[in-house]
Structure 1
Amino acid sequence: MDNNNLIIEYMDNPHELERMYRKDPKAFKKSLSHARELNPDSPVLGVWYERLYFKEMANTEKSSLFQKGFLIMGLLAILAGISTRIIFYFVSQEAIAPINLAFGIIPFIAAYFVYNNTPRKSVIYSLIVLFLISGVYLNFLPLNDKDSTILAYLHLPLFLWGVVGLAFTGNDYSKGSARLAYIKFNLEYGILYACMAASGMVLALLTMRLFSFVGLDIEDFYFSNVILFGAAALAVVAAYLVSMNLKLAKNMTPYLAKIFSPIVLATLVVYLITVIGVGKNPFLDRNFLIAFNGILLGVLAVTIFSIIESDSERKKNISDYINVILIVLALIIDSVALSAIVFRLSSYGITPNRLAVLGVNLLIWANLIWIMKPYIRFLQDKSGPSIIQDAVTKYLPVYGIWAAFVIFTFPIIFK
């Protein structure tokens, strides 16, 4: 009796099938397919087939998806490079504002997310409308150096970040888990793109140096036609690689979170002590107030970075206490900054810059309070760590709304 018949004979004897498999796995696997063809409705043979062939089937499916996804990514990367090069031409002619370069890259990253996780038509239409409205509106603004126009340009990346977030989350845009995944994507994306960009810069410098040895200065040509194209295309490639669960960035981010939090805390404490020692006054020194706000944004970013990289099922540890101290220090800095901004508004009047800084500081102050309340409850063992991550994700749309408000109202209010 051959193996095919033996498998069929012992279909109802799991112990004997297991014995046959262990005795000669290759022969058993070879015979299983034939036995299953003769008995396609057998659940036992179905289970064995899935057990032995699942990895191969998964790899085949993954390979197919990889090839298709790779081609789409390649096409979008090329389109991003070409679009950016065309936009750069008009920027160099001073026909449009430099911020338009963002539209040569970001829509193609959003397009890849839509392809990778196709959402409802309403989400796709919303993305198209948001990109079109923002792009058309910004190019109707006069090309000048007015503060309100510059503020609109500065807030555009934040607004587009929110639009890309909608493309990334798709139908799950209202779910905290999807928003959390988007923040993690940004961290991994930033690390990966920085690594690839650094490698590209080394290659570019080496290339230009080699040409200089033969008396050719290709710097302008190389920047306009190679570096610019490559930087734009690489942005789409990096999004693809992170979406494919590249392990490099994923393995680095938790360690970076643990390393940077205590370093930032120590640096911040030393800095604040030094500031008090030298008697710097943010109420009178505008540049110092700007630096204060930069520190505030950095602390907020590091805190969020550390929170989202923490295990949502873990118990409290030293990192949590460091994060809470960072939040408290950030609140102190923000309170001082808010007082200084209010003082400057009352003393020197309302300007678009002062109003924008006031709005950002109020948003960050509220965000820090929003995060600190569940954090304290967690440290008091009154809740789990997941509510801290929920606090981070629920507040994210507020920044996008504020960015939209500045972009679409400040140039009109402060003409």
Structure 2
Amino acid sequence: MQRHDAVTDADLDELESHLLDRVDGLREVGLHDDEAFLVAVKRLGAVDELSHEYARVHSERLWKQLVLDGHAEPGAADANTLAAASGTSDRADAAGTRAPFWKRANGLAVALALGVGAGAAVKAAALLGADPAFFLRNAALLVLPFLAAWFVWRHRPPVGAVLAVAGAFAVAAVALNVFPWASLSDAQAFGGPVTDTELLASLGAAAALWLMTGVAYAAGRWRSSADRMDFVRFSGEWLVYYVLIALVGAALSALTIGVFSTIDVDVAWFFGEWVLPCAIPGALLVAAWLVDAKQRVIENIAPVLTKVFTPLFAIMLIALVVAAVLQWNIVDADRELLIAFDLVLVVVLGLLVYSYSSRDPLQRPGWFDRIQFAMLVAALVVDVFVLVAMVGRTGEFGFSPNKTASLGLNLILLVNLAWAAWLQLGFLRGREPFDRLERWQTGYLPVYLAWAAILVVVFPPVFKFA
């Protein structure tokens, strides 16, 4: 309960006292100690239900909880709160007990400390003279270990899970910095020359290491479909919060630079050399804290956006399919257009997953489920078009790192989308339970992890680092 920010220390004291009173009462009627404890806990209610009830009853604390850590200003717990949360009107005295300090450490303080560490790591690499290609390869290695450390502190995974995550970071560090990358003068990315395999390995490392941090987030229970979906929810909420922080930070920076320029003081160099290199990675941890601290207090944002954009994306995909059938020029599409189509397919998959994450599994199929099915069918057609174009380009120009990576990704997406459409159709016809749709998406995550790892470890030597 202490991990739930809607509940204060005073609430916990009152709940504990009430629980102990119930145990004593059950023992007096003849139950053994263990039986009395289990029955009392069961009657008190589930942790999530209690947390939501406290957030509802103490609605006057909502705005404070949006800006303060959950235990920063404990409100007064009363009999009404306890009655709403535990289903009784009994009044209990506070027990006055507290957890050890290390368990009550302020989450925001820990997140800020790790964020400062991430910013310091990036800035230290810049001060040591790292070139742009180094930052491209090691961006995930410089920042994501601090996010993994936050998950370890927050969710307490077992030692084996921590070692697995650390091992993944070690393998990626060796592969990205030991491989003999070639240097191409005509290949520019982020201001420095990189090869195709180097760029693919960098993107693959970012994707693979992000998924590996999910092992720490799930506290080692990575085989659980529910825990995988929790990490998917976190990823979507984190992205929304990070973009909002970035927008506000950009506006504040521009305002500060403009105000100082009115008195002929140039601070743009300071923002460019110090604020941005430290704030961009540091905001990753602040966004993670916001998601973790506020997801039980306010409505999640990602599912709401999903409800809005799913119909729009369905219309766009259907229009794209019609245009492609009428003109049939997608076969001759250039590389940039095919990359754009791949991004659209990834967004469609994200919309599908986040709509699953917030749906009531017992609710009957409705109009939104039918729109999802139409979107899936249109996405499948687009994916087939892209595969036809990719096969044609490969036959004409031969295999290359980029074409092979794109071909593999589209085959993976084709399998994912095809089976998702089949399950969605079965759900609409009443032949498939909803949980099968969700389990398919969460169970497919290791496939993306494996493909990202192949881009990092296998592609560079196979294509001779070209």
Does the alignment reach a TM-score above 0.5? yes
The percentage of counterpart residues that share the same residue type is: 27
From 102, 113, 116, the counterpart of 2:151: 113
**Does structure 2 conserve the Cα–Cα contact (< 8 Å) formed by 1:189 and 1:249?**
no
* CA distance 1:64–1:333, shift in 2 (3 Å): same
Deviates more, 1:63-72 or 1:366-375: 63-72
- What is the Cα deviation at residue 353 of structure 1? 1.1
- Which residue of the partner structure matches residue 102 of structure 1? 140
- What is the Cα deviation at residue 311 of structure 1? 1.8
Is 1:391 aligned to 2:440, yes or no? Answer: yes
Structure 1 segments (4+ residues) deviating >6 Å: 44-50, 56-64
From 181, 204, 208, the counterpart of 1:159: 208
Identify, as 1 or 2, the structure richer in helix: 1
The number of residues matched between the two structures is 379
**1: CA distance, partners of 2:214 / 2:274:** 30
Q: 1:268-317, CA deviations, whole angstroms, 9 ceiling, x for partnerless residues?
A: 22333344555533335333333322322222222222222222222111
**Does structure 2 conserve the Cα–Cα contact (< 8 Å) formed by 1:211 and 1:217?**
yes
From 325, 330, 333, the counterpart of 2:382: 333
- What is the Cα deviation at residue 203 of structure 1? 0.7
**2: CA distance, partners of 1:289 / 1:52:** 65
Deviates more, 1:299-308 or 1:270-279: 270-279
From 423, 432, 448, the counterpart of 1:374: 423
* CA distance 1:301–1:253, shift in 2 (3 Å): closer
* CA distance 1:384–1:390, shift in 2 (3 Å): same
- Which residue of the partner structure matches residue 355 of structure 1? 404
**Does structure 2 conserve the Cα–Cα contact (< 8 Å) formed by 1:257 and 1:309?**
no
From 306, 319, 331, the counterpart of 1:282: 331
Root mean square deviation, CA, Å = 3.1
* CA distance 1:404–1:90, shift in 2 (3 Å): farther
SS of 2:153's equivalent? helix
SS of 2:365's equivalent? coil
- Which residue of the partner structure matches residue 28 of structure 1? none
Amino acid at match of 2:266: D
SS of 2:294's equivalent? coil
- Which residue of the partner structure matches residue 346 of structure 1? 395
* CA distance 1:177–1:148, shift in 2 (3 Å): same
- Which residue of the partner structure matches residue 265 of structure 2? 216
Correspondence list, 1:25-36, <5 A: none
- Which residue of the partner structure matches residue 91 of structure 2? 52
**2: CA distance, partners of 1:94 / 1:316:** 50
**1: CA distance, partners of 2:328 / 2:426:** 36
Correspondence list, 1:3-402, <5 A: 41=24, 43=26, 51-53=90-92, 67-90=105-128, 93-94=131-132, 96-141=134-179, 142=181, 144=183, 145-246=194-295, 250-277=299-326, 280-283=329-332, 285-402=334-451
**1: CA distance, partners of 2:345 / 2:160:** 37
- What is the Cα deviation at residue 53 of structure 1? 4.4
- What is the Cα deviation at residue 150 of structure 1? 1.6
Amino acid at match of 2:239: G
- Which residue of the partner structure matches residue 461 of structure 2? 412
**1: CA distance, partners of 2:172 / 2:309:** 36
**2: CA distance, partners of 1:62 / 1:384:** 44
SS of 1:260's equivalent? helix
Larger Rg: 1
Q: 1:27-84, CA deviations, whole angstroms, 9 ceiling, x for partnerless residues?
A: xxxxxx9xx99xx955599989995349x67997699955443332232122112112
- For normalisation by structure 1, the TM-score amounts to 0.82
Deviates more, 1:185-194 or 1:300-309: 300-309
Amino acid at match of 2:161: V
> Which segments of 5 or more consecutive residues in structure 1 lack a partner in the other structure?
1-32
> Which segments of 5 or more consecutive residues in structure 2 lack a partner in the other structure?
1-16, 29-35, 41-78, 184-193
Amino acid at match of 2:143: I
Amino acid at match of 1:125: L
Amino acid at match of 1:270: A
**1: CA distance, partners of 2:97 / 2:284:** 27
**Does structure 1 conserve the Cα–Cα contact (< 8 Å) formed by 2:331 and 2:388?**
no
**Does structure 2 conserve the Cα–Cα contact (< 8 Å) formed by 1:156 and 1:403?**
yes
**Does structure 1 conserve the Cα–Cα contact (< 8 Å) formed by 2:137 and 2:199?**
no
Deviates more, 1:138-147 or 1:403-412: 138-147
